[in-house]
């Protein structure tokens, strides 16, 4: 006996549902923030990724006579002269000891391009936005005005360093000794 087409469709639908897998569970997507981790005076910091244009490893630096000690000199990077500033020397007064881990963070803000010498770049850091706090007083550093807040992740605090703020500092722009 021949089955009605509607019954055939109904049986096909039942078999289809029986063999179907359930949909994946809905996963909550959380907002994240990314930055470039670096060390300064032995402590870990993070700069917003949009404030770092490039990270340089080895460059030949030419000394500039008459410049402040924290101005390491200039480097020729692909035909452009890039001033190199020792970030720790500028902020703390202690010069960074050059090593194989030393890196130069290239920043560009308000028409100012500079290379910032740091002890080490620890790589890309990603934080959940819920790990952010504007409070920085517990970090207890002499350059509080450079900090935008901090992220706390796995028991560690990462101060968010506003590199662009350097350009707004008169003492950073005055490089002559």
pLDDT band of 4, cuts 50, 70, 90? confident
pLDDT over 70 at 1, yes or no: no
- On whether the CB atoms of residues 118 and 38 are closer than 8 A, the answer is yes
Distance, CA of 104 to CA of 118 (rounded, Å): 6
Pairing of strands 156-161, 43-48: parallel
Specify the length of the chain in residues: 177
Distance, CA of 163 to CA of 177 (rounded, Å): 23
Domains along the sequence of the chain with CATH: 32-173 (2.40.50.180)
Please give the full DSSP string across the chain, using - where no structure is assigned: -PPPHHHHHHHHHHHHHHHPPPPPPPPPP--EEEEEEEEETTEEEEEEGGG--EEES---EE--TTB-TTEEEEEEETTEEEEEEEHHHHHTS-PPPP-TT-EEEEEEETTEEEEEEESEEEEEEEEEGGGEES--GGG--TTGGGEEEEEEETTEEEEEE-GGGGGG-HHHH--B-
Distance, CA of 160 to CA of 97 (rounded, Å): 23
- 36-84 pLDDT, tens digit each: 999 998 888 999 999 999 999 989 999 999 999 999 999 999 999 999 9
Distance, CA of 88 to CA of 93 (rounded, Å): 7
| Mean pLDDT, rounded, of the chain | 90
pLDDT over 90 at 141, yes or no: no
The closest of 90, 105, 84 to 39, measured between CA atoms, is: 105
pLDDT at residue 111, as a whole number: 92
Q: Measure the CA angle with vertex 17, ends 15 and 19; round to 5°.
A: 70
């Amino acid at each position: 006996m021949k089955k009605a087409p509607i019954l055939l469709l109904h049986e096909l639908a039942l078999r289809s549902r029986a063999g179907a897998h359930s949909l994946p569970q809905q996963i909550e997507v959380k907002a994240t923030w990314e930055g470039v981790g670096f060390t300064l005076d032995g402590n870990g910091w993070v700069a917003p990724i949009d404030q770092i244009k490039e990270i340089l490893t080895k460059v030949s630096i030419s000394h500039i006579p008459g410049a402040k000690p924290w101005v390491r000199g200039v480097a020729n990077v692909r035909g452009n002269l890039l001033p190199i500033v020792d970030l720790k020397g500028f902020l703390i007064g202690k010069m960074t000891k050059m090593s194989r881990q030393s890196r130069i963070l290239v920043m560009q803000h308000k028409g100012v391009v500079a290379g910032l010498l740091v002890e080490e770049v620890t790589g890309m850091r990603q934080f959940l936005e819920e790990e952010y706090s504007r409070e920085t007083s517990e970090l207890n550093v002499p350059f509080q005005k450079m900090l935008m807040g901090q992220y706390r992740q796995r028991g560690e605090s990462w101060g968010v360093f506003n590199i662009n703020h350097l350009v707004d500092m008169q003492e950073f722009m005055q490089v002559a000794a």
